[in-house]
Amino acid sequence: MSQQLGGQQILILKEGTNRTRGRDAQGMNITAAMAVASAVRTTLGPKGMDKMLVDTIGDVVITNDGVTILKEMDIEHPAAKMMVEVAKTQDDEVGDGTTTAVVIGGELLKKAEALLEQDVHPTIIAAGYRQAAEKAQELLKDIAFDVKPTDKAMLKKIAETAMTGKSAESSKDKLCELVVKAVTMVADADGTVDTDNIKVEKKTGGSIDDSEIVEGVLIDKERVHPAMPKKVTNAKLLLLNAAVEFKKTEVDAEINITHPEQLQAFLDEEERMVKGIVEKIVASGANVLFCQKGIDDIAQHYLAKAGIFAVRRVKKSDMEKLARATGGSLVSSIDAISKDELGKAGLVEERKVSGEEMTFVEQCKNPKAVSIIIRGGTEHVVDELERAIHDALRVVAVVVEDKKVVAGGGAPETELSLRLREYAASVGGRAQLAIEAFASALEIIPRTLAENAGLDPIDMLVEIRAAHEKGKKTYGLNVYEGKIIDMKAAGVVEPLRVKTQAISSAAEAAIMILRIDDVIASSKSPAPAPGAGGMPPGMGGMGGMGGMGDY
Ligand code: ADP
Ligand code: MG
């Protein structure tokens, strides 16, 4: 980047730096963000399609889940990354509605672009969008209805809506029952639900219908030695994050052995040391050992002899779940082993699940520990089931916490759109244009639901709008029959938080992107590709160059 000054060139930015300004910068950012939205649009709704993602080492993921798709895609453009963040925030806050959030964000930018073309200043659009987003929150609370956290039938419907369109669909009855049961089991008396208490364990083989719920924690590992007991009642668990083995020297020491007795002495020493560790474990009163690190052969032998049930190389996340469930602490060194650190469980048992041994830790000290075993034909199926269950667990938990739901199928978006238009008229001025744009952007949801179901989006939008104009606030699109029906009565319901969060994070990202009018990219970072067409690298800076005359 350089500047002419009396015939002299002054370099102010490092050579190779790309700079794009004004409308060019906005145009590029908007195009990139919209590209992200259009990438996930076809997956929206019950009739949405799946995507197959293949990573650089050839691993395949087949999914319908917005956030998973975007996480797997290697997105580089900074504005596009902001849209990925929208999906991630949605996933963290609610666990569902990720596609919705990104699609709304993309549409907000598309409508903004049209306004920019009419020379409406970006700050006016941003301010109008912010006003509209705030009003939308208020309106949404107005159209939401209450749910009792004990209303299991309703909770099941919420889980079902979250699962619709995923490959889990055929068995959703069974899976949603498990989900509702699991959430109600871990719900606190004060209404808070920590879904971290629910462990989802996948197992290929068997059918989806064999999936089950286990009160306790399930570890996908078997005991290390066949001579160990298969079942321990009144278990006292040691959760150890240190290896049970002979400590190898740090430096490469060479041991010169000249006599056979010396070798024996060396081996004896090794055995004595390992035996010492096992004795320490026994002395603590533990009868079950979960070790995050290794347990060597000699240690396995002595542990088996002492009648201890031991599992090695347990995942860190599993160790944390075990600590929570049994009330034990994670012990990080052999010296720290003591009876005060042990956890408690009524039963630890190794059992077969679809031909493979797993360790069940049941009747835990903390009764809120629950596991769901998901079964399914292939790895891709169980992976997608796991994602569907994750979404369903989260939405049910959110409703148990918030006790507020809205109808689905495009009903809330249509109602909001209508009311925001009325609101826009009352605001007047230039902001009115932006609020109206916001209102029509929300209709992307019913429109996309219709498109993905192979229905005529214009016809459907006209019909759904007409219903809402008549005051039928919960009417939405029955994607299977192409009819406008009462979604609440049909049992298509979603947590209110899915919508409030989707709209607020979509609006935030759109506003942030709109307010950028200067992109300065240093040469190392990838040049923001201008649009999908992709100009050669370096061209991105041309816009800025052209603008030089403005100085
Ligand atoms: P997201 O990632 O946004 O959750 P989904 O693919 O799960 O995307 O689609 C969610 C949309 O599908 C919501 O608008 C929801 O209301 C709608 N939907 C879910 N089930 C039905 C149904 N049975 N009929 C009509 N719309 C539905
Ligand atoms: Mg969903």
Q: Is 108 exposed, middle or buried (0-12, 13-18, 19+ CB in 10 A)?
A: buried
The answer to whether residue 181 sits within a structural domain is: yes
Select from 366, 392, 416 the last residue of a domain. 366
Q: Which ligand is nearest to the CA of 169?
A: 1
Q: Is 284 in the pocket of ligand 1 (CB under 6 A)?
A: no
Query: Which residue's CA is the nearest one to ligand 1's atom 14?
Result: 409
Residues 204 and 336 in one domain: no
Between the alpha carbon of residue 533 and those of residues 444, 529, 543, the distances in Å are: 24, 8, 16
Residue 113 lies in a domain: yes
Cα of 471 vs centre of ligand 1, distance in Å, is 22
Q: Is the pLDDT of residue 462 over 90?
A: yes
Look at ligand 1, atom 25, and give the residue with the nearest C-alpha. Answer: 409
- Is 6 contained in some domain? no
Same domain, 347 and 225: yes
44 touches ligand 1 (CB under 6 Å): yes
Q: How many CB atoms lie within 10 A of CB 98?
A: 29
The strand pairing partners of 236, in sequence order, are: 344
Cβ–ligand 1 distance for 453 under 6 Å, the answer no
Q: Do 331 and 254 belong together in one domain?
A: yes
Produce one character per residue of 155-190: b if its CB has 16 or more CB atoms within 10 Å, e if not. bbbbbbbbbbbbbbeebbebbbebbbbbbbbbbeee
Are residues 229 and 266 located together in one domain of the fold?
yes
For residue 542, the model assigns a pLDDT of: 37
Is the CB of 492 within 6 Å of ligand 1? yes
* Spacing, Cα 43 to ligand 1 middle (Å): 10
Cα 17 from Cα 398, distance rounded (Å)? 46
- Check whether residue 320 and residue 259 sit in a common domain: yes
Measured CA to CA in angstroms, residue 357 lies from 29, 219, 224, 360 at distances of 52, 10, 11, 10
Q: What SS3 string covers 211-228? A: CEEEEEEEECCCCCCCCC
Do 411 and 495 reside in the same domain of the chain? Answer: yes
Same domain (yes/no): 187, 137: no
Q: In terms of pTM, does the model score above 0.85?
A: no
Residue 212 has pLDDT above 90, yes or no: no
Question: Considering just the CA atoms, what is the radius of gyration of the chain in Å?
Answer: 30
Give the count of domains, the chain: 3
Structure tokens at 303: 């542990």
- Asked whether residue 153 falls in the same domain as residue 141, the answer is no
Mutation pick for ligand 1 pocket among 93, 492, 494, 501 (CB with most ligand atoms within 8 Å): 492
Q: Name the 3-class secondary structure at 522.
A: coil
Tokens at residue 13, please? 């930015």
Q: Three-state SS for 493?
A: strand
When pLDDT is averaged across residues 239-259 and rounded to a whole number, the result is 77
CA angle 283, 285, 289 (to 5 degrees): 100
Residues 92, 137: one domain?
yes
CB atoms within 10 A of CB 14: 10
3 or 151, greater pLDDT: 151
Residue 505 lies in a domain: yes
% of the chain with per-residue pLDDT over 70: 91
Give pLDDT, residue 306.
Answer: 93
328 and 253 housed in the same domain: yes
Catalytic residues, which ones? 65, 98-99, 391
Task: Tell me if 359 is assigned to some domain.
Answer: yes
**Confidence at residue 545, expressed as pLDDT on a 0 to 100 scale:** 37
Is 31 close to ligand 1, i.e. is its CB under 6 Å away?
A: no
CA 322 to each of CA 31, 71, 362: distance values in angstroms, whole numbers, following the listed order: 47, 29, 11
Tell me, yes or no, whether 169 lies in a domain.
Answer: yes
Is residue 531 in a domain? no
Residue 161: CB within 6 Å of ligand 1?
A: yes
Which token pair is 511?
């506003």
Q: What is the mean pLDDT of the chain?
A: 87
CATH, residue 259: 3.50.7.10
Q: Where residue 100 falls among pLDDT bands split at 50, 70, 90?
A: very high
Ion ligand 2 residue ranges (Cβ < 5 Å): 96
376 and 362, same structural domain?
no
| pLDDT in the model for residue 210 | 84
Give the range of the structural domain holding residue 298, as residue numbers without chain letter.
220-366
Mark whether 321 and 229 lie in a shared domain. yes
326 pLDDT exceeds 70? yes
Bridge partners, 364 (sequence order): 345
510: CATH: 1.10.560.10
Kindly state whether residue 7 falls inside one of the protein's structural domains.
Answer: no
The CA 328 to ligand 2 mean position distance, Å, reads 37
